[in-house]
Amino acid sequence: MTELETCIREFSLDPGTVPKSVAIIMDGNGRWAKQRGLVRIFGHEQGAEAVDIVAETASRVGVTFLTLYAFSTENWQRPKREVSTLWKLLVRDLERRGPKCLKNGIRLRSIGRRDRMPEVAVRELDKVERATAHCDRMTLCLALDYGGTWDILQVAERARELFCSAKLPAGPLSPELLSTLLGSGIVPPVDLLIRTGGESRTSNFLPWQLNYAELMFLPMLWPEFGAKELLECFVEYSRRKRSFGRIADEEDSEVETANATLRERAHR
């Protein structure tokens, strides 16, 4: 039995309580390296290994869609040398991730802008997406050059173009139609958002899909996050009651009992 299998067995999660759509903001790679007297790039390399562990763990316990915030539209503001190195690391990561995804039945997809990505990164991304298109155990979605503001602006622009070309009838937009226009439309509503690194914000990530997500902000840095930590988050998620604005079942019963009592008193 592997270390991962032992870990999963120890937690013995009820499959029915595992979040199906999970999103993660992988924060803290640079700080992890700095704490150890290393240059930031070593933190990003270690963070890639954490992705391997988390993706495999998630696919093994029943997550069907895992979205990772890999590069935001704001990350272009970092030093040019670091940005260039990050894209080179992505290409190298994709080269080795393809076989791993195939082995574990994981489909790789992506959201975000491609017009600003290095051509070699686009080619490798396309290659892995095509190679894993038939995999159906879990979808691993990389958010690359992605930002929620950009995502919403794209919806507005597409809706305007369709309306001007008479391909979109006049009238109110439905949530279902808007979802088809989103650049991130392949991402289902998120059940659980996890952010490492100690910050407590969503940082322009998936504003449409996070409407009713459970949020967990953790102090640990991303390279320190592994199978055990992910499963602990799932246990915490299983304890939360998600009513989506409705009254929970037991509360609903209590309210109905109280209303029945009031009606009975009114007829006396």
Question: Residue 18 above 80 pLDDT?
Answer: yes
- Give residue 107's pLDDT band: very low, low, confident or very high (50, 70, 90): very high
Residue-wise pLDDT for 164-179, tens only, equals 888 877 778 888 888 8
Residue-wise pLDDT for 114-148, tens only, equals 999 999 999 999 999 999 999 999 999 999 999 99
Question: Residue 59 above 80 pLDDT?
Answer: yes
Look at residue 27 and tell me if it is in a domain. Answer: yes
Judge whether 151 counts as a catalytic residue: no
Look at residue 261 and tell me if it is in a domain. Answer: no
Task: Quote the CA–CA distance of 138 and 153 in Å, as a whole number.
Answer: 29
Look at residue 37 and tell me if it is in a domain. Answer: yes
53: tokens are: 């562990």
Q: By the 8 A CB rule, do 53 and 97 touch? A: no
Domain count, the chain: 1
The domain containing residue 126 runs over which residues?
3-148+188-238
Look at residue 170 and tell me if it is in a domain. Answer: no
Look at residue 35 and tell me if it is in a domain. Answer: yes
Look at residue 175 and tell me if it is in a domain. Answer: no
What's the CATH code of the domain at 210? 3.40.1180.10
- The catalytically annotated residue of 27, 93, 145, 191 is 27
Judge whether 27 counts as a catalytic residue: yes
Residue-wise pLDDT for 184-223, tens only, equals 999 999 999 999 999 999 999 999 999 999 999 999 999 9
Q: By the 8 A CB rule, do 69 and 23 touch? A: yes
Question: Residue 256 above 80 pLDDT?
Answer: no
The conformation of residue 77, written as its DSSP 8-state character, comes to G
Backbone torsions φ then ψ of 70, nearest 5 degrees: -90, -35
Task: Quote the CA–CA distance of 67 and 41 in Å, as a whole number.
Answer: 22
Query: What pLDDT shows up at residue 90?
Result: 95
- The catalytically annotated residue of 14, 29, 52, 75 is 75
Look at residue 182 and tell me if it is in a domain. Answer: no
Residue type, 156: A
Question: Residue 22 above 90 pLDDT?
Answer: yes
Query: What pLDDT shows up at residue 261?
Result: 59
SS3 120: helix
Mean predicted confidence (pLDDT) in 236-253 = 77
Look at residue 157 and tell me if it is in a domain. Answer: no
Residue 209 neighbours by CB under 8 Å, 6+ apart: 21, 23, 184, 187, 188, 189, 190
